[in-house]
Amino acid sequence: MSFSRDRDELGQWRAYASNGYGCSVVSDAAAIRDVADVAGYVIYERRKQMTFARKVLERLRAEPDVLEVNRAIIAAACFMKHEDSAPRRSFAC
């Protein structure tokens, strides 16, 4: 899932609502964190993405379970988007 910090973000509609079909769901980020395995704000800056990726890989270095490594890498990828992608204030889980 991807959310915007802003209540009425036009970029969110342009990126995710196909031909005007879509809906707005308002939720509290803290409440999402309570029920999601992993949740947080998306990282857009390349330097911060590299730091984040290194931390993820360092934590996975000793993980023997290949499925757990795959799950963690896929989850981590959800928190990184290209600098030019819209909207810029996304929340993912």
84's tokens: 């030019």
Cβ burial 3-40 (10 Å sphere, 16+ → b, else e): bbeeeebeebeeeeeeeeeeeeeeeeeeebeeeeeebe
- Is the pTM higher than 0.85? The answer reads no
Interval 66-91: pLDDT, tens: 999 999 998 898 888 877 765 556 65
Range of the domain at 50: 2-92
* Apex 50 CA angle, 44 and 51, nearest 5: 105
The DSSP-derived string for 60-72 is HTT---HHHHHHH
Number of domains the chain is built from: 1
Interval 9-67: pLDDT, tens: 666 666 666 776 776 677 777 777 777 777 778 888 899 999 999 999 999 999 999 99
**Distance (Å, whole) CA 18 – CA 67:** 33
